[in-house]
Structures are given as structure tokens and as C-alpha cells.
Amino acid sequence: MTEQNHSGRLTSGNWLSFAPRTFLQRDHSRTVQRPRELSLPIWERVDHFIYNSKRWQLISILFAVTLFKTGIWFNPILLDRSRLIAQNPFVNPLQDLPTFHYLYWSWLAPFVAWLVGATGPLSFFCFHLFFSLAFTGLFIGTVFSRFEDKVARTALVIFFILPVAGTCYFWVGGDSVTLFLMMLALAFPRDLWATLIIGVALGMEHFEQGFFAFAAVAFVSLFGLPDEREPEYSWRWAFPLLLGIVLGKGALVELFRHFKAVVNSGRAYWLGNPPFRHMVVRDFYFHFQFIIYSVLGIGWAPVIKYANLGKRIAPFFVALCGLMLLLPITYDETRVGAIVSFPLMAVFFLLNRWFLRSVTPQFLSWMFVAWLIIPYSWAYGGVPQWSILPYDVALILHKLFGWFDLPTNDPFWPISQYRRW
């Protein structure tokens, strides 16, 4: 039975005593209020984390997710071939292996490793891993010292979204040194002598990657950037850097002549070998869709956003398409494509205050969420790879407890073409 008492509240009679019982209204003032962040849409929560978390928290999460998506492995030829050069950089130890002579042209890193005594398997790996960390750290330091906090956080998120941020951990090796030198040139564009010296070092480490990467930037600089208020990366910076890279290559030629080193043309010789040339062209033809996507991954989103500028952005797309033409003659496509496009992406996106301010929090948040969900994109011989982290863990467990039957002496073990797992 339900009735209304004198106070106007509904009462219900007890079925035993028929005594009226009052249902009191709930006092919501004592209810714990849900945090405002939990009632927000997902993109607003992500936005709140990106722009309102502590700086170290954002950096730590971005770096941890990158390592989770990539793992850490060494370039399979790093300990097997390049370390031989570091043991005596004044003699080509690969002269009986002509298709590997291109490694000797990446002479600077083995020479520095020889100087510091990092010639053992572990020390040589740690030597290159140091430069991977230095590349990441230098970018972080550059954006936070150059931009206001919000703009720097936007640049940081886009940087970690790009595959180039993870390739120096996915395959630790000479690329770690190359990327560090590229970032060094981008971090100090106003010092002409520093630019020349960095260019020479880059030419002695990886002439082809350095030359094509900054030739693209030099081409675009002739037409000017969309934001002319920031002239750091004009042709006055790009062409001296390009000159330094050429001088570095010339210095290597003279050094090898002085050492009487037996060495062929390197990468040109490798590409001139018909079986290798046919292999890379075939791999690109059958896997071009994933290969092209893997170079920038989710980073294609800001490129598409940038296309709204129309003719003002035409030189950028011409340069980017020119760099994509290197993919059909490359075996480890993502690694090379991500590295050579990094300076171009840095000048137009990562270190461009005008562009970074135009990125809306919602656009960045959705890119961040997509990056969290979609696996790391990396192609080798046209075949998609995935995180090496489970293989890192399996290798550690094997070393400690003897678990798993693993080919621990095979550096190509995690690479899918050679994998039985």
C-alpha cells in the first residue's frame, strides 16, 4: 500500500504491521563527485594529458610507448661487419666482400668507437645506443628551449608519432649517429662554421642519406617557407650544410687514398649488382602501399592537413615525392625513407612554430590515439615487421633461465623473413 502522509512524502505500509514507513530522499550532497576529466570525451582527456600533465610525465609516456611499439635490437650487420672496421678503421677488413664495402664508407662512427675503445660486442652496441638516446634527447631539448610550452608539447607528440623516432631503437646502429648529426644541424642553424663542420661529419658517416635529405630541404628553401618570420632554415643554412656533406665525402676519398684502403664505390656498387637491384625493385613493386605508408605512418595526417595551403606547399610535396623515389632502390625501406625525410619534416612541421600553432588540440589528440592503437610501421624487404620487444624479453629469459630454444647467435632472428616463430 502506498499513501501520502501529512508532510507530503510517499509512504508504504509494512505488510506485517501496516505501520507507515517514509522513504527519505537521497542527500546527493554527500555523494562523491566524479572527477571532471572522467566525464569528458576521449579526445578532451587526451588533450588534458598532453597539455596539462607534468613535462617529465609526458616525455616518459611517449618514450615508453615508443619502446613498447619497437623494442630494442641492433642492426644485424652492426656486430657482424661494422665492428670489424672499428677494430682497425685504417684498413678495410671487408675487402674480400665487395658487396659490403658500403659499410666502410660509413667510416666516422667506427672511427670514433675505435678512439673511445668501444670495439667489443656490448660496448659497440652501447656506443650506438648512446647516440640513439642523444638524438631523442637533443630533439626534446631543442623544442622546449625554442618554443613556448604548448607549442613544444605539440612538436614532441608529432615527433614520437613519426616512425623516425623509433627506428634508431628498432635497429640500433649507424643510423643512430646519422640522425644525431642531422638533429645537431637542425638544432644550431645560425652558426655557419658549426653547420659546415656538422655537414663534413655527416658526409663521413653516411653521404647518401645526408646528401639527399638536405638536398630536399635546400630545394624547398629556394622557394621560401610558408612562415617567413622564421628564417633559420633558409638557403643560407641549407646550402653550406650541403657543401659540408660533399666535403666530408671528399675527405673520405683522400683518407682512403692515404691509407691505401681497398674499397669500391660502396652503395653504387651494391646497387649496380643485378641480383640486388632486381630484388629491391621487385620488393617495392609488390609491397609499395605498405612501404610508402610506413615511411611516415600516422605522420601522413599532418602532411595531408598541410596540403590545404595549396600552391604555397607545392615545393614541399615535390621534395617529398623526390625522396620517395629512393624507396624502389632500397632494401630496408622504412629505415632509409624515415631518415632522409626527417630534415624535411622537421623544417616544415616539427620545428615550424607557425605550423605547430595551427594544430588544434582535437586533431593532435586523435593522432595520438591512433598512434597508440596502430602498431609501429616498419618495412624490411617490403615485408611488414612488428615490435621486437617480445623477442627482447624472450632472449633475456633464455639467457637467465634457459627458456625457449632460440638461435641466439643469429642477429637476423627477429626479422620476419628469417623467422620461424
Q: How confident is the model at residue 416 (pLDDT cuts 50, 70, 90)?
A: low
Q: What value does the mean pLDDT of the chain take?
A: 87
Domain-located, residue 29: no
Model confidence at 93: pLDDT above 80: yes
Q: What is the pLDDT of residues 142-162, one digit of tens each?
A: 999 999 999 999 999 999 999
pLDDT more than 70, % of the chain:
86
Is residue 101 within 8 A of residue 92, CB to CB? The reply is yes
Q: How many domains does the chain have?
A: 1
Q: What is the mean pLDDT of residues 50-59?
A: 96
d(CA 272, CA 126): 34
C-alpha cell recorded at residue 380: 624490411
In a domain? residue 35: no
Confidence at residue 6, expressed as pLDDT on a 0 to 100 scale = 43
pLDDT at residue 174, rounded to an integer: 93
The values of phi and psi at residue 292, to 5°, are -65, -45
Ramachandran bin of 266, using left for φ above 0, alpha for ψ from -120 to 50, beta for the remaining angles: left
* Mean pLDDT, residues 309-335: 89
Are 93 and 87 within 8 A, CB to CB?
A: yes
Query: Would you say residue 208 lies in a domain?
Result: yes
Least confident of 39-48, 289-298, 345-354: 39-48
Residue 208 has pLDDT above 80, yes or no: yes
Q: Is 39 inside a domain boundary?
A: no
Q: Please count the other Cβ atoms lying within 10 Å of the Cβ belonging to residue 336.
A: 22
Count CB-CB contacts under 10 A for residue 41: 10
Going by C-alpha positions, the residue among 158, 127, 169, 419 that lies closest to residue 306 is 158
Q: Is the pLDDT of residue 24 over 60?
A: no
Total number of residues shown for the chain: 421
Residue 25's pLDDT is 52
The reply to whether 22 falls in a domain is no
Residue 105, classified by CB atoms within 10 Å of its CB into exposed (0-12), middle (13-18) or buried (19+), is: buried
Q: Please report which confidence band the pLDDT of residue 125 belongs to, taking 50, 70 and 90 as the band edges.
A: very high
Query: How far is Cα 327 from Cα 380, in angstroms, rounded to an integer?
Result: 11
Query: Does 37 map to a domain?
Result: no
What confidence score (pLDDT) does residue 219 get? 94
Q: What is the mean pLDDT of residues 406-416?
A: 71
CA dist 199 and 134 (Å) reads: 18
The grid cell for 186 is 637542425
The highest-confidence range among 53-62, 280-289, 386-395, 410-419, by mean pLDDT, is 53-62
Indicate whether 61 belongs to any domain. Answer: yes
pLDDT of 223 higher than 90: no
CA 70 to chain centroid: 10
pLDDT band for 247, please (50, 70, 90 cuts). very high
The 10s digit of each residue's pLDDT in 76-92 is 887 788 999 999 999 99
How far apart are the C-alpha atoms of 183 and 4, rounded to whole Å? Answer: 78
- Better-predicted residue by pLDDT, 293 or 20: 293
pLDDT above 70: residue 8: no
**Does residue 185 lie within any of the structural domains?**
yes
Rounded distance between C-alpha atoms, residue 399 and residue 404, angstroms: 10
What pLDDT is stored for residue 399 in this prediction?
84
Give ∠ CA 197-199-202 in degrees, rounded to 5. Answer: 115
Structural domain containing residue 324: 44-385
* Among the ranges given (24-28, 112-116, 232-236, 347-351), the one the predictor scored with the smallest mean pLDDT: 24-28
Kindly indicate the confidence band of residue 237, based on its pLDDT and cuts at 50, 70 and 90: very high
At residue 421, the pLDDT reads 46
